[in-house]
Amino acid sequence: MAALAQFAKMNGLGNEIIVADMRGRGDRVTPEAARALNADPATRFDQIMAIHDARLAGTQNYIEILNSDGSQAQACGNGTRCVVQALAAESGQKVFTFQTVAGILTAEEHEDGLISVDLGKPRFGWQDIPLSEEFRDTRMIELQVGPIDAPVLHSPSVVSMGNPHAIFWVADDVGSYDLERFGPLLENHPIFPERANISLARVTARDALTLRTWERGAGLTLACGSAACAAAVAAARTGRTGRHLTVTVPGGPLDILWREDDHVIMTGPAAWEFSGRFDPATGAWERETEGAV
């Protein structure tokens, strides 16, 4: 058996994250290990953020992201904040540049402990999200749940934040919809060849909205950072809000700024829960009494 790797169980506004230290190793966290860790109530998670040695000059690390079902994710804003907090506590460094499947991410820990992540530029082309058929205007596409003449949900905005998102706009409480039932159907709808994150959004002011998300490969979550960014961008793009918003998810508020240079900056907290060691092949793990990645 390979040597055990260190991990920290963390969360970003309740978005459950495992930060796995895979630096100096040649192996990877397997899908089987991810599913085993998720099956244990103590280590149940939404995403694993596996920190590998840098593969690209100018970056500190390569980050591989796994969902709780073992599938690979392209982006995770809340998880990136957890990575930053863990690495900053270890090294004292405050500014980081990471490589991910979705591209280059930069992030910074501020003096107040909050962490900002630059998730890059949103993409709106139907082929970039991607969708399985052409829509010229992705501010609103033809997709609905329920009867044709009285749909429960309809006409979502779609956007890629490195991963695909569909945002359904609702006029009442986002918690009043049975997202646990609709979510898996919409996530796996044929219009989304790579599946999609499904969110319900309610605009509450020109600078605020509430959000609830069914996360692709993970299910209902207390927070999804890339979904908060996608919803904020879609709200501004459809004229519902300005470009600087407070997005309140079940776990709490996130500050989202869609800058004039088109980059989306998400700012929020991260929290450490406990540390341990695990087998990246099987997911077998043991708790440590103190310390972090």
Map 177-246 to HEC letters. CCHHHHHHHHHCCCCCCCCCEEEEEEEEECCEEEEEEEECCCEEECCCHHHHHHHHHHHHHCCCCCCEEE
**Rounded distance between C-alpha atoms, residue 153 and residue 139, angstroms:** 15
82 in catalytic set = no
Mean pLDDT of 222-246: 97
**Are 115 and 71 in the same domain?**
yes
Within a domain: 126: no
CATH number at residue 243: 3.10.310.10
In which domain, by residue range, is 172 found? 144-262
**Are 95 and 27 in the same domain?**
yes
Q: What is the pLDDT of residues 10-43, one digit of tens each?
A: 999 999 999 999 999 999 999 999 999 999 999 9
Residues ≥6 apart with Cβ < 8 Å to 112:
none
**Are 252 and 278 in the same domain?**
no
Q: What is residue 84's three-state secondary structure?
A: helix
Residue 291 has pLDDT above 50, yes or no: no
224 in catalytic set = yes
Angle CA 79–290–35, to nearest 5: 45
Mean pLDDT of 197-226: 96
**Are 242 and 276 in the same domain?**
no
Mean pLDDT of 59-87: 94
Which entry of 224, 233, 249, 257 is annotated as an active-site residue? 224
pLDDT above 70 covers a percentage of the chain that reads 98
**Rounded distance between C-alpha atoms, residue 15 and residue 273, angstroms:** 12
Q: In total, how many domains does the chain have?
A: 2
Residue 292 has pLDDT above 50, yes or no: no
Residue 263 has pLDDT above 50, yes or no: yes
Within a domain: 151: yes
Mean pLDDT of 213-220: 93
Which entry of 33, 76, 107, 179 is annotated as an active-site residue? 76
Q: Among residues 78, 83, 79, 111, which one has the least CA distance to residue 96?
A: 83
Within a domain: 293: no
In this prediction the pTM is: 0.92
- Largest Cα–Cα distance of the chain, in whole Å? 59
Within a domain: 81: yes
Residue 235 has pLDDT above 60, yes or no: yes
Residue 136 has pLDDT above 50, yes or no: yes
Residue 236 has pLDDT above 80, yes or no: yes
